[in-house]
Amino acid sequence: MAALWWDLLMETSSPGGAPAPVYDRIGAGYRDVRRPDPRLAALLRAALGDARTVVNVGAGAGSYEPEGLAVTAVEPSQVMLDQHPGPVKVRAGAEELPFPDGSFDAAMAVMTVHHWSDPARGLAELRRVARRQVVFTWDVAHRPELWLLAEYLPEIRTMEESRFTPVSEVARLMGAHTVLPFPIPHDFTDGFQTAYWRRPERFLDPAVRAANSTFAQLPAAVVEPAMERLRADLDSGAWSRRHADLLTRESVDYGYRILIADADTPRG
């Protein structure tokens, strides 16, 4: 089964692993589930410092773009751009940004580096076009991991390990001088996969799964039996007994990090 779903994923990706076909296929309704969380938004705004002009690379539907700044959204998926409310939108990939050197005060990239066909090249492009770079990503090497992977969908782990660059390597490529942990609050509003660590019933909603690239790229033959096992464990109370410690926690560090770099800082 693993070989079958992996082959399917490769067939639905364009040469070089470009993300546009993926989000053209799964991006409809994204904004309904992926609502920016104000706590993360505040940290990202602070990380941008005194920037007035910002390029948001892999902008998606515009989450976390700060108000009051001149933002240029860059996104390879037309479906996502169509949901983006901003006035300045450019269809392009991170690996070849269509701007002169030093065009922006800052560049931001939120949960997108893992979709880039060449992360090193994309991060170099951020550095080329902006004096400050702010990246929000997840560390594939971090533990503990979300219970969903070990107990229900180890196929997600296989996918994540193939596409996420460890935070240490992203920091090196960026020349990051600051790496900030972001523990995920139990009521996090941005419905990416780890948002529901204390709300497991949310995974049973097809709309929630459709707004997550990992779920959306796995075949139904893999996802549906796993969700039936989760439903049964919720009904029986087995999930709550296994994870009683989580039910009283306000947040958990699952490896999400904000990385900050400046163009004049040497890279490692």
Q: How would residue 3 be classed by pLDDT, with cut points 50, 70 and 90?
A: very low
- Has residue 10 been placed in a domain? yes
| 228: containing domain | 2-262
Asked whether residue 139 is domain-assigned, the answer is yes
Residue 203 belongs to a domain: yes
pLDDT in tens, 165-191: 999 999 999 999 999 999 999 999 998
Would 267 be classed as within a structural domain?
no
> Sheet of 104-110: strands edge to edge?
89-90, 70-74, 53-57, 104-110, 130-138, 256-262, 178-181
CATH assignment of the domain containing 253: 3.40.50.150
Asked whether residue 76 is assigned to any structural domain, the reply reads: yes
Asked if residue 90 belongs to a domain, the reply is: yes
Q: How far apart are CA 198 and CA 109, in angstroms?
A: 27
| 216/183 Cα distance (integer angstroms) | 25
User: Is the pLDDT reported for residue 245 higher than 50?
Assistant: yes
Name the nearest CA neighbour of 66 among 132, 22, 3, 2.
132
Q: What is the pTM of this model?
A: 0.86
Residues in the chain: 268
In a domain, 224, yes or no: yes
Helix (H/G/I), strand (E/B), else coil: 156? helix
What total of structural domains would you count in the chain? 1
Q: Is residue 234 part of a domain?
A: yes
Contact between 11 and 216 under an 8 Å Cβ cutoff? The reply is: no
Residues 99-148 have pLDDT tens digits of 999 999 999 999 999 989 999 999 999 999 999 999 999 999 999 999 99
pLDDT in the model for residue 82: 87
Mean pLDDT check: name the lowest of 3-7, 171-175, 214-218, 245-249. Answer: 3-7
Mean pLDDT of the residues in the chain: 88
Please give the C-alpha separations between residue 28 and each of 10, 45, 72, 80, 85, in angstroms, as whole numbers.
21, 27, 22, 8, 15
**pLDDT tens digits along 9-40:** 333 333 333 444 455 554 445 556 678 999 99
Sign (positive/negative) of CA torsion 82, 88, 91, 95? negative
Average pLDDT over residues 224-240: 98
